Amino acid sequence: GEDVEQSLFLSVREGDSSVINCTYTDSSSTYLYWYKQEPGAGLQLLTYIFSNMDMKQDQRLTVLLNKKDKHLSLRIADTQTGDSAIYFCAESVSASGTYKYIFGTGTRLKVLA
Amino acid sequence: DTGVSQDPRHKITKRGQNVTFRCDPISEHNRLYWYRQTLGQGPEFLTYFQNEAQLEKSRLLSDRFSAERPKGSFSTLEIQRTEQGDSAMYLCASSALADEQFFGPGTRLTVL
């Protein structure tokens, strides 16, 4: 079945790098996404990676994809207190033309000053 | 364009009442999605529209739930005879292409 798993919590010190991990099950996913959600807010798209890539860098964000192991990670360099939020990974699952997203449970990142 | 908007942002209702939420997608986006997010969980897919056609509904969408997109622009999600278990954040997203969904701020429903 479709399932996306993430660890629940991560705590880092300001200025350190954060690495948030995710595993997914649908090997046919075309795109994989990282979203950020701050308290009481909607989802903000951070970055995404196409399934035929193994790495994508976007300023402080680096996404690594291991398609064989169905493992996705998000690295945030020089983590700031403003990065404190819940981070969701999502896989895009295509069925009969519907590209619905399957989300993980989210990783709560806490950045300590 | 200001992005996906949802109304209301918050709704408190008593068990058994009907509620209706509205979503206005980014203009020219022909694909519209509804998701539900409960506390401590990631969003779960509810239903999908391409233009005005509802093409997929999740098993989560019981017969008390109905969604419409009458002219292929805004969409409404109605919950009849609300139950406490319906308390959640209801998120709407839209996209122009097959992927890259843009999410609205959500409607938080509390059923007393």
Nearest CA in chain B to A43: B103
Pair type for strands A98-103 and B53-57 = unpaired
Predicted pLDDT at B5: 95
Of the pLDDT bands very low, low, confident and very high (cuts 50, 70, 90), residue A2 is low
CB pairs A-B closer than 8 Å:
60
In angstroms, the separation between the Cα of residue B21 and the nearest Cα of chain A is: 16
List, for chain B, all residue ranges whose pLDDT scores fall below the cut of 70. 1, 98-99
Predicted pLDDT at B105: 93
Closest CB to A30 among B43, B45, B99: B99
Cβ burial of A11 (10 Å; 0-12, 13-18, 19+) is: exposed
Taking the C-alpha atoms of residue B74 and residue A37, their distance in angstroms, rounded to an integer, is 24
Distances (CA, A) of A27 to A65, A92, A113, B90, B106: 12, 10, 39, 28, 30
Mutation to test the A interface, candidates B48, B91, B109, most A Cβ within 10 Å: B48
Taking the C-alpha atoms of residue A109 and residue B105, their distance in angstroms, rounded to an integer, is 20
In angstroms, the separation between the Cα of residue A68 and the nearest Cα of chain B is: 22
Q: What is the pLDDT of residues A16-33, one digit of tens each?
A: 999 999 999 877 778 899
Predicted pLDDT at A30: 80
Q: What is the pLDDT of residues B73-88, one digit of tens each?
A: 999 999 999 999 999 9
Of the pLDDT bands very low, low, confident and very high (cuts 50, 70, 90), residue A96 is low
Cβ distance B102 to A92 less than 8 Å, yes or no, reads no
| Percent of all residues in chain A with a pLDDT value above 70, rounded to a whole number | 96
Closest CB to B42 among A30, A44, A103: A103
Of the pLDDT bands very low, low, confident and very high (cuts 50, 70, 90), residue A100 is confident
Q: Provide mean pLDDT across the span A52-56.
A: 92
Cβ distance A100 to B48 less than 8 Å, yes or no, reads yes
Predicted pLDDT at A11: 97
Mutation to test the B interface, candidates A100, A107, A108, most B Cβ within 10 Å: A100
Cβ distance A42 to B106 less than 8 Å, yes or no, reads yes
